[in-house]
Chain A
Amino acid sequence: MPAPATPTIPAPDVRQVIAADGTRRFELSGAWTLRALRFRLTELTPRLAEYAAAPAAQWDLCGVQAIDHAGAMLLWRAWGRRRAANLVLNPEHESFFGNLELPAERPREHARRDPLRLLVFLGRKLLSVLDHFTTMVAMLGQVVLDAGFLVRQPARIPWREISSNIYRTGTQALGITALVGFLIGVVLSFLSSQQLKLFGADAFIINILGISVIRELGPVLAAILVAGRSGSAITAQLGVMRVTQELDAMAVMGIPHTLRLILPKLLALAVSMPLIVLWTDAIALLGGMMAAHAELGIGYRYFLSSLPDAVPIANLWLGLGKGVVFGLLIALVACHFGLRIEPNTESLGIGTTNSVVTSITVVIIVDAVFAVMFKDVGII
């Protein structure tokens, strides 16, 4: 026979009895268990405290039907962390009052407020940035050494890993980069046409779109999307491999992480990024061309035939070069943060966030450096 769904628990209660000779007795009844007590705590705690203050009173727990450690602890606290002097209780409840004496705790030291804490904070941050930078350079160096090793022993090149990484970071990113590229192309072209129409400089839409998309927007957009997509995936993958000790297993088998995990990712992104940049450029120009046709009436044939005259070919090479550099940087940052993840859940989350934020920031900084370095190239 199944037990009733919720057996009724007798409510805990405490009653004051004053005997003829003036001695006081507190009779407890009901179940003094956590389950019964939790709804009555706010009422019982102050009453218990009040009763416990009475001197030379007797505590009668014989009427208690059930008790657990929570109930015993509640009484213990009311009695001032000691056993009531005059206590009567059922022998089977004795054990609950046996181990209530808590071991002494050393008070936790509160950190003193350091007057230089802001400086210390800044210093720590700076040192941590330097540490990130040096380990990343060291990793890059190791990858270069590994690449040298592979040139001498081409049989050990991890082709399979490289190709699967190209598929994952490149082929699978085509859809999202196309969508974003197309929309940006349309918006840019639409807004520029509005302005150009005012000056009657309709034909310059080709220059504006061509230069900005091929030189700047294509590579940066693609890099940001790939950093969010593949960078986070790489970091999380390496992090989980750390948590599940797969990295340790590889190290023990004598397979260096840099050779089998990092180098393929770097190479794959270095190959797939420029291709994605090219793809994004093409789709964004297509979107821009369609918007220009709709807004300014510029024919597709005219647009395409004047594009090579408006945009020097150097811009394309610059954009593709940026793609390669961005790809390498994204992979490097993602791998760096992935390998630093510690085996707990919080570290995984923080590591992935840091990886994506850092790689996008690095991409934009490096893009600015490119803009300064190549300011005389490809602009008429």
Chain B
Amino acid sequence: MAEHVIEIKGLWTRFGRQVVHRDIDLSVRRGEIMSLVGGSGSGKTTLLRQMLGLERPARGEVLILGESLHGGDPGVMRRLRDRRGVLFQEGALFSALTVFDNVALPLRELRTLDEGLIHDLVMMKLSMVGIEPLHAYKLPADLSGGMVKRIALARALALEPELLFLDEPTAGLDPDRSEGFVTLIREMHRELNLTVVMVTHDLDTLVALSTRVAVLCEQRLLIVGTLDEVVANPDPFICNFFMGERGRRALDAVRNVEATT
């Protein structure tokens, strides 16, 4: 049995009187790429924020790497900081710091690394995500959205985490860049033995990366399974989501690639 990196048990979320999640159970296995999908307002991002410990569910428990996030232990966030990395939707780079300082920040926070090692580690991470050294001392405001995302990924990977959270990794990138970013994530996943949890709207990204897919719909977790299992489900929401024009195109594309290789 594969080890579970994330376990969500009996999770409920309420905003006022509105129930967003009703009794959700979800486990993420080590080494897989789990995609969370669902319509707008289905609470994908809320669920992700709960997995990060930024929001507290009304009921239920979230275990990350065996630690309960909402158990009231103040040390959890500190212990988890070098075991998980997060890529926020807009990158969330600190606008007052240069690219180099952004990536160096988590390393400096450890307080035990010397500046020379930090410099080399930062430069290596930047070159891994395809950022040239000449951009290292620029401010995030001077860079394009695609580069900001790459740098944010480098920052998320700075502490060599085993768990990576991605919130809409390809939103706001043009098709060429998002293709490149998907390839980058796939490489990082393979190279660093990452477990990835991803929220996405983008079918191409979903099809290209997911090991398993979890579909959130009408407050519940509709289905968790491989892409083929999910697509085979007759639920009308899934039909709309995957079997619409765009969905079929994305699925066909991936099938063609599989057929030719």
Residue ranges of A at the interface with B (Cβ–Cβ < 8 Å)? 2-6, 33-35, 38-39, 41-42, 45, 68-70, 73-74, 76-77, 95, 99-100, 102-106, 108, 342-346
Take A77-B117, A344-B95 as given contacts and tell me if A69 and B110 are in contact as well, using a CB distance cutoff of 8 Å. no
- In the complex, chain B residues 112-149 whose Cβ is within 8 Å of any chain A Cβ: 112-114, 116-117, 120-121, 123-125, 127-128, 132-134, 136-137, 139-141
A3 to B66, CA, bound (A): 5
Whether A99 and B124, one on each chain, are in contact in the complex, defined by CB atoms closer than 8 angstroms, is yes
The secondary-structure label for the interface of chain B is mixed
Take A38-B113, A344-B141 as given contacts and tell me if A95 and B191 are in contact as well, using a CB distance cutoff of 8 Å. yes
Choose one: A5, A42, A68, A95; the contact of B160 (CB below 8 Å).
A68
Whether A108 and B137, one on each chain, are in contact in the complex, defined by CB atoms closer than 8 angstroms, is yes
Whether a CB of chain A sits under 8 angstroms from the CB of B67 is: yes
Whether A2 and B141, one on each chain, are in contact in the complex, defined by CB atoms closer than 8 angstroms, is no
Take A68-B160, A344-B141 as given contacts and tell me if A42 and B112 are in contact as well, using a CB distance cutoff of 8 Å. yes
Whether A344 and B117, one on each chain, are in contact in the complex, defined by CB atoms closer than 8 angstroms, is no
Whether B160 and A69, one on each chain, are in contact in the complex, defined by CB atoms closer than 8 angstroms, is yes
- Cβ–Cβ < 8 Å partners of B134 in chain A: 106
- Cβ–Cβ < 8 Å partners of A95 in chain B: 191
A5 to B75, CA, bound (A): 12
9 more A-B residue pairs beyond the given contacts A34-B82, A73-B121, A77-B116, with a C-beta to C-beta distance below 8 A: A2-B4, A3-B4, A5-B67, A35-B82, A70-B160, A73-B124, A95-B191, A100-B124, A344-B139
A258 to B70, CA, bound (A): 49
Whether A41 and B124, one on each chain, are in contact in the complex, defined by CB atoms closer than 8 angstroms, is no
Whether A104 and B112, one on each chain, are in contact in the complex, defined by CB atoms closer than 8 angstroms, is no
Whether A38 and B110, one on each chain, are in contact in the complex, defined by CB atoms closer than 8 angstroms, is yes
- Cβ–Cβ < 8 Å partners of A4 in chain B: 66
Take A102-B127, A106-B134, A345-B95 as given contacts and tell me if A2 and B160 are in contact as well, using a CB distance cutoff of 8 Å. no
Whether A38 and B63, one on each chain, are in contact in the complex, defined by CB atoms closer than 8 angstroms, is no
A108 to B137, CA, bound (A): 9
CB distance from A110 to the nearest CB of B (A): 13
A269 to B133, CA, bound (A): 51
A103 to B129, CA, bound (A): 13
- Cβ–Cβ < 8 Å partners of B160 in chain A: 33-35, 68-70
The secondary-structure label for the interface of chain A is loop
Whether B96 and A69, one on each chain, are in contact in the complex, defined by CB atoms closer than 8 angstroms, is no
Whether A38 and B124, one on each chain, are in contact in the complex, defined by CB atoms closer than 8 angstroms, is no
A35 to B117, CA, bound (A): 15
CB distance from A35 to the nearest CB of B (A): 6
A74 to B140, CA, bound (A): 28
Whether B112 and A103, one on each chain, are in contact in the complex, defined by CB atoms closer than 8 angstroms, is no
Whether B137 and A68, one on each chain, are in contact in the complex, defined by CB atoms closer than 8 angstroms, is no
A34 to B159, CA, bound (A): 7
Choose one: B112, B114, B128, B159; the contact of A39 (CB below 8 Å).
B112
Whether B82 and A344, one on each chain, are in contact in the complex, defined by CB atoms closer than 8 angstroms, is no
- Cβ–Cβ < 8 Å partners of B186 in chain A: none
Whether a CB of chain A sits under 8 angstroms from the CB of B79 is: yes
- Cβ–Cβ < 8 Å partners of A3 in chain B: 3-4, 65-66
Whether B120 and A102, one on each chain, are in contact in the complex, defined by CB atoms closer than 8 angstroms, is yes
Take A34-B160, A69-B121, A102-B120 as given contacts and tell me if A344 and B96 are in contact as well, using a CB distance cutoff of 8 Å. yes
Whether A5 and B120, one on each chain, are in contact in the complex, defined by CB atoms closer than 8 angstroms, is no
Which B-chain residue is minimally distant from A2 (CB atoms)? B66
CB distance from A131 to the nearest CB of B (A): 21
Whether a CB of chain A sits under 8 angstroms from the CB of B218 is: no
Whether A5 and B95, one on each chain, are in contact in the complex, defined by CB atoms closer than 8 angstroms, is no
Whether B7 and A2, one on each chain, are in contact in the complex, defined by CB atoms closer than 8 angstroms, is yes
9 contacts between A and B (CB under 8 A): A6-B79, A41-B112, A41-B117, A68-B192, A73-B121, A77-B116, A95-B191, A103-B127, A103-B132
- Cβ–Cβ < 8 Å partners of B220 in chain A: none
Choose one: B112, B120, B133, B159; the contact of A73 (CB below 8 Å).
B120
6 tightest A-B contacts by CB? A3-B66, A344-B95, A68-B160, A105-B133, A346-B96, A2-B66
Whether a CB of chain A sits under 8 angstroms from the CB of B49 is: no
Whether B117 and A74, one on each chain, are in contact in the complex, defined by CB atoms closer than 8 angstroms, is yes
- Cβ–Cβ < 8 Å partners of B22 in chain A: none
- Cβ–Cβ < 8 Å partners of A41 in chain B: 112-114, 117
* Per-residue interface assignment for chain B, residues 57 to 96, with 1 indicating a CB less than 8 Å from any chain A CB and 0 otherwise: 0000001011100000000000100110000000000011
CB distance from A195 to the nearest CB of B (A): 52
- Cβ–Cβ < 8 Å partners of B128 in chain A: 69, 99
Whether B113 and A346, one on each chain, are in contact in the complex, defined by CB atoms closer than 8 angstroms, is no
A4 to B117, CA, bound (A): 31
Whether B83 and A69, one on each chain, are in contact in the complex, defined by CB atoms closer than 8 angstroms, is no
A68 to B161, CA, bound (A): 10
- Cβ–Cβ < 8 Å partners of A342 in chain B: 141
Whether B112 and A38, one on each chain, are in contact in the complex, defined by CB atoms closer than 8 angstroms, is yes
